[in-house]
Amino acid sequence: MARLFDVVTFDCYGTLVDWERGIEEACRAAAAADGVRLDPAALLAAYAEIEPQVEAEPYRSYRDVLAETARRVAARLGWRLADARAGFLALSLPAWPPFADTNPALERLARAGYRLGILSNVDDDLLVATRRHFTVGFDLLVTAEQAGAYKPAPAHFALARQRIGGARWLHAAQSHFHDVVPACAGGIPVAWINRARQAPSNAARPARELHSLTELADWLAPD
């Protein structure tokens, strides 16, 4: 089967890496040290609401985004988090695990000849730490630190396009809000990896809606 694209890029946290598990475990441990027990559903709902608000403010490093988000989430949930301990999420991030289907799917795509990349709302050094979990290399890395902005702002996609040039490009991501919407707005084909079968955040429609990275590999690199 002829390849449909030359380059496949991915969002990292939420698409390749199980960020909800990482955030939940880190927050639960930090709260327990303060004698606080968190409800996982309430925690993740608050986090999903608050982090994009912090990212939409004047640019700060992702370490600072994580710390400020932790402060606001803790305040929302009635957890008196000491300011000196608000950096725990960045400290935990290198241990956040990939999904079980991530490396097998990436390996299949690499064997099929696709160039792979990551477009992530993260600092460069944090992505370096996360990449140790992956079993393939990446030809393209675009971070918030490089772009000076956070998705859904278009800077990641504009910078990636400059580096990719005229190659046929597919972006694959879990977040409709952070990735599908700006990719569609920029005319970039996007595969929505809708693991949780969520409703779309607006009328933007992906080129393909899938429910795992295995399904993505089945589409692009059938055995």
Distance CA 68, CA 5 (A): 38
Among the options 11, 18, 123, 179, which is catalytic? 11
Fold of domain 7-18+97-220:
Rossmann fold (3.40.50)
Q: Band the pLDDT of 82: cuts 50, 70, 90.
A: very high
Distance CA 94, CA 26 (A): 11
A 10 A CB-CB count for 121 gives: 26
Distance CA 120, CA 160 (A): 11
12-25 confidence digits (pLDDT tens): 999 999 999 999 99
- Averaged confidence pLDDT in the chain: 96
The DSSP code for 13 is: B
Q: Band the pLDDT of 1: cuts 50, 70, 90.
A: low
Q: Which CATH number fits domain 19-95: 1.10.150.750, 3.30.200.20, 3.50.40.10, 1.20.1440.60?
A: 1.10.150.750
56-66 confidence digits (pLDDT tens): 999 999 999 99
Distance CA 138, CA 125 (A): 15
Distance CA 125, CA 79 (A): 29
Domain boundaries, the chain: 7-18+97-220, 19-95
| Contacts (Cβ under 8 Å, ≥6 apart) of 44 | 20, 23, 24
Q: Tokens for 83, please give them.
A: 């300011």
Reply yes or no on whether 39 is catalytic.
no
Distance CA 172, CA 191 (A): 5
> Model pTM?
0.95
The DSSP code for 169 is: E
Q: Tokens for 75, please give them.
A: 């305040």
Mean pLDDT on 198-220: 94
